[in-house]
């Protein structure tokens, strides 16, 4: 048996990037031989093993055959006769199709090292289009490595979109690639790749022209958002939600409010943030003209947002509002401070009052507080 380090670990080593995970391909080997050597078998559809001492993954060399739609619909063919080159040929990009033997020598049949040097993402073979997830992987590598997509590979990305196999991808796999890209320095590359091959249009109904959905509130371009200092101050979760809302705000959009929440769940599990941010977007006119809004309307606004329970989320969402909309007339700090004051309102002698009396007194105090706040900040 021969063992070869393959994939991302070899690529990252050439790029001088620290890589925690290491994957190995085993040629001229069998399941029985691997188990006898102490490796633990974990793969069901094809033989994958874990080294119990290091946790590294070892897979028998294999070939693949597409049998249905989606990225999981493959038949795996493995035998002792499968060569290293055949195994590397099934991989997505040349930069990921480099192997290294135990002496440190590179086996690079598809010129991946040259593509790394030229910062190019190029497919290994036309079988590339058989796995639709590769479109997102290319976009993600473009962002994380700041590489450009080879023109012929871009044509194959467009073929993947035309096949509509993206619609068969799991939400989890899409979100995984998205989240990895969002926290890179070149996140705009991710969206540029998806836009250029028309993938965004197919997935979330995005149109090339910039539209706004709420009167005259102008939305920034992707470059304006991702390069802004406000965006860089956001947390990782806030960046994800911010960019997804940016995409929704660019839709031509009769059904935005009906579908936005369901679509956002594709990319994040922060459901409370999603609902809260949706409410903020729907009430964007209040944010724009907060100091001119009637106290009764602000009370209804705060009640809808449930600010007493969602102060942390409210702060995050107000930060996102500042990034998404390229205007400076949102009094987000004032709104947040008022929300804190509303939450901290107390009623004296509550034990002597009925529930309805407590509710009325709290409502009266909130009304007075908001009116005072508006007068002080005119």
> Is the domain of 332 the same as that of 240?
yes
Higher pLDDT, 285 or 342: 342
> Is the domain of 338 the same as that of 293?
yes
Distances (CA, A) of 286 to 22, 70, 231, 301, 369: 52, 44, 23, 8, 18
Query: Could you tell me if residue 177 is inside a domain?
Result: yes
Q: Which pairs from 281-287 meet CB under 8 Å and 24+ separation?
A: 281/214, 281/245, 281/249, 281/321, 282/257, 284/214, 284/217, 284/321, 284/325, 285/214, 285/215, 287/321, 287/330, 287/331, 287/332, 287/335
Return the top range by mean pLDDT from 24-38, 180-194, 201-215, 244-258. 24-38
> Is the domain of 156 the same as that of 105?
no
Kindly report, residue by residue over 154-201, the tens digit of the pLDDT.
999 999 999 888 877 776 677 678 777 877 778 778 878 887 888 866
pLDDT computed for residue 258 by the predictor: 40
Domain count, the chain: 3
Say whether pLDDT at 112 is over 90. yes
Q: Which of 154, 172, 204 is the last residue of a domain?
A: 204
> Is the domain of 125 the same as that of 109?
no
> Is the domain of 286 the same as that of 164?
no
Kindly report, residue by residue over 332-343, the tens digit of the pLDDT.
788 888 888 888
pLDDT computed for residue 375 by the predictor: 84
Burial 89-127 (b: 16+ CB within 10 A, else e): bbbbbbbbbbbbeeeeeeebebbbbebbeeebbbbbeeb
Query: Could you tell me if residue 214 is inside a domain?
Result: no
Gyration radius (Cα) of the chain, Å: 27
Q: Which of 204, 238, 271 is the last residue of a domain?
A: 204
User: What CA–CA distance (Å, rounded) separates 187 from 243?
Assistant: 10
> Is the domain of 182 the same as that of 72?
no
User: What CA–CA distance (Å, rounded) separates 128 from 124?
Assistant: 7
Query: Could you tell me if residue 305 is inside a domain?
Result: yes
> Is the domain of 287 the same as that of 314?
yes
Q: Which of 157, 177, 204 is the last residue of a domain?
A: 204
Q: What is the CATH number of the domain that holds 108?
A: 3.30.460.10
> Is the domain of 49 the same as that of 155?
no
**Cα dihedral sign, 176-178-180-182:** negative
Q: Are 167 and 139 in contact (CB under 8 A)?
A: no
> Is the domain of 251 the same as that of 368?
yes
Average pLDDT score, the chain:
77
Containing structural domain, residue 155: 119-204
Q: What is the CATH number of the domain that holds 165?
A: 1.10.110.30
> Is the domain of 99 the same as that of 124?
no
């Amino acid at each position: 048996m021969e063992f070869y380090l393959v994939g991302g670990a070899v690529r990252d080593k050439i790029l001088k990037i620290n890589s925690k995970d290491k994957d190995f391909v085993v040629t001229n080997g069998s399941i029985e031989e691997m188990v006898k050597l102490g490796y633990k078998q974990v793969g069901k559809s094809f033989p994958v093993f874990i080294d119990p001492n290091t946790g590294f993954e070892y897979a028998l060399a294999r070939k693949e055959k597409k049998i249905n739609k989606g990225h999981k619909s493959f038949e795996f063919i493995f035998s002792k006769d499968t060569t290293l080159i055949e195994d590397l040929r099934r991989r997505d990009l040349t930069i990921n199709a480099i192997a290294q033997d135990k002496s440190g020598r590179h086996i690079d049949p598809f010129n991946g090292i040259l593509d790394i040097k030229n910062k190019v993402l190029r497919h290994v073979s036309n079988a590339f289009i058989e796995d639709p997830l590769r479109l997102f992987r290319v976009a993600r590598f473009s962002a994380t490595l700041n590489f450009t997509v080879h023109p012929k590979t871009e044509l194959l990305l467009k073929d993947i979109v035309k096949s509509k196999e993206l619609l068969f991808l799991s939400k989890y796999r899409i979100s995984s690639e998205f989240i990895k890209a969002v926290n890179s320095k070149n996140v705009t590359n991710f969206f540029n790749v998806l836009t250029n091959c028309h993938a965004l249009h197919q997935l979330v109904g995005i149109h090339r022209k910039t539209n706004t959905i709420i009167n005259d509130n102008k939305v920034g371009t992707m470059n304006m958002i991702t390069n802004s200092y406000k965006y860089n101050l956001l947390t990782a979760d806030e960046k994800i939600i911010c960019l997804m809302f940016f995409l929704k705000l660019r839709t031509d959009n009769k059904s935005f409010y009906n579908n936005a929440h369901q679509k956002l769940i594709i990319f994040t599990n922060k459901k409370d943030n999603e609902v809260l941010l949706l409410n903020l977007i729907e009430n964007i006119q209040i944010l724009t003209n907060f100091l001119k809004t009637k106290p009764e309307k602000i009370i209804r606004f705060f009640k809808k947002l449930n600010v007493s329970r969602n102060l942390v989320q409210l702060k995050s969402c107000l930060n996102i509002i500042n990034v998404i909309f390229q205007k400076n007339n949102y009094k987000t700090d004032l709104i947040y401070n008022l929300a804190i004051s509303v939450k901290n309102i107390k009623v004296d002698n509550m034990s002597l009052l009925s529930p309805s009396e407590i509710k009325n007194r709290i409502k009266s105090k909130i009304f007075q507080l908001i009116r005072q706040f508006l007068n002080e900040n005119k």
